[in-house]
Amino acid sequence: MNKLFQVGIRVQVALATALMVVGLAALMSFVVGKRSGADLQTQIGLGVSDIALQMADELDRTMWTHRGEVSVLSTLGALRNFEDVREISSIINRLRREIPIFTWIGVLDHEGTVVAATGDMLVGMNIAQRPVFQYGKNGQFIGDVHDAKLLAEKFPLYNGEPIQFVDIAVPLVNDSDEFTGVLATHLSWEWADTVRKSLFGGQGIHQNVDIFVISQEGTVLLGPDQELVGTSLRLDALTEAKRNHVGWKISTWPDGREYLTGYAPADGHLDYDGLNWSILVRQHVDDALAPVFELRRDILIWGTVLAVVFSIIAWWAAGFLVGPIGHMANAIEAMKRGEISQLPDVRGAREINILSKNLQSLLAKLTEKDAALGAMKHIAHHDKLTGLGNRLAMDAYFEHAIARADRKKGELAILMLDLDDFKPINDRFGHAAGDDVLREVAKRLRRCVRGGDLVARLGGDEMVIVCHVDKNGATEATMLAERILHEILMPFITGGNRVSINMSIGISVYPEHGHDPEKLLERADIALYTAKARGKNGYVLFSVVEKSSDSSTSRA
């Protein structure tokens, strides 16, 4: 009974597949027969207009994205205050490497002199008369496609022609909202040509389309025909695009041939108003209609052939593949949901059995490997005695902590800790007692910090805490130091002995006392030794050390 039922399903799938393919072939032949000629012409016209709209949208989105990147870059503190030209140069060169579309990025002072630039190009030159400064100092400026003036000799030719740019510039102001200069960028126009070539190249019935970008004045900015680039077009389709219309027409181009011409305006994206470009996409009328009759014939022939082939394949696959594979897929989904812990044995064709066994083996090995890697990572990043993080964990933590602090406009507090007179404990009670004290110190330090903060042991009785704080970082850091001193002040019990110990703490704050982890640790260490020199059992903020040093220098 079950076997007859299985055979019935396979026959039903085969017949359904055959009927579907034959029906689809008949339907397609009918549709093409009814809509050939003028109707297909309409479909292709709508297609080229859609390509024009997509090209316009892609150009506007790209310009909107890079305009936003320049605006965000202008808000960085280094660019706002001009305090460190080397840091400014590092930032803009990093952006140039990460986003090559920015061919040139320059930071201009309030007089129009280039103080920093990618590759140091034009540094020291005054370009106050260039549009990027003249318009950029008054607000966000986006300039249309133009030839390179000052940078013409700095870059290679593109398609045998000098490189062209699109400008983006924004004013720079300091913390007092005073104008300090202009952030100017040149975007290589090559990206638009790349979009034109790759995004819509050779798609189905539109494999012979040509895409053109036209300026507000009607000048061809970009196209496959270099002879048309730089010339003015007078087409009714272009007139419609300038009226912010989307559609298609049959237009006669300068070569005297008729083309299906799709048009669309590049009218901006979100709060970007655009540069009033127009996009034209054309396909020769003869190329568009040639496949009509050939397509009708091929649909009928191949529809019949495929109906037979797919019905046989479907009949075979329904019994030998669909059932077992579906069972395995359901089991994998159940495992992902946590409903089962291992895959069941699935029986079917020999390959299905092999696949089932190999999947089981692979999942088992991956589980073992994940567990082993997790254990190895934990060992590599943690101190064996106290369970605290080690220097490797601290280095990894700093990398993410600084990025998070910058992103959330917060600060980091770095506390360097050292137990006062720890050696006498080892000498008097033994190293085992000293280890007990270190472990208990680690527990108390963990209680003093939040879950996302780091407590690490650097070696011996030297430890460090890195924690996230708000903008008033020094105040929060000193409050944490006082809490730690209070916790450590409570006696320790080791081997039946009552032990009391104190701690000295040095504090530095990111970014007030430095941007580099090593510099922050070094300054926290200086503050620590100052705390010890002042009698131990206390904390010192690096700012206090700086002021003392400045005061001593002024008295001298």
DSSP symbol at 266: E
If you search the block for the tokens 């970009």, which residue do you land on?
Answer: 222
Sign of CA pseudo-dihedral 192, 198, 201, 204 = negative
d(CA 465, CA 478): 13
415-428 per-residue burial string, b: 16 or more CB within 10 A, e: under 16: bbbbbbebeebeee
Catalytic annotation, pick one of 267, 383, 418, 461: 461
- The answer to whether the CB of 19 falls within 8 A of the CB of 310 is no
Partners of 173 in the beta sheet? 179
Beta-carbon count within 10 A of 92 CB: 25
**DSSP reduced 3-state for 241:** helix
Beta-carbon count within 10 A of 231 CB: 12
User: Which residue pairs from 452-458 have beta carbons closer than 8 angstroms and sit at least 24 positions apart in sequence?
Assistant: 454/389, 454/393, 454/394, 454/397, 454/401, 455/388, 455/389, 456/383, 456/388, 456/389, 456/390, 456/391, 456/393, 456/394, 456/397, 457/383, 457/385, 457/386, 457/388, 457/389, 457/390, 458/390, 458/391, 458/394
**Who contacts 188 (Cβ-Cβ below 8 Å, separation ≥6)?**
100, 101, 103, 155, 158, 163, 164, 165
d(CA 162, CA 157): 5
**DSSP reduced 3-state for 143:** strand
Known catalytic membership, residue 461: yes
Residues designated as active site: 461
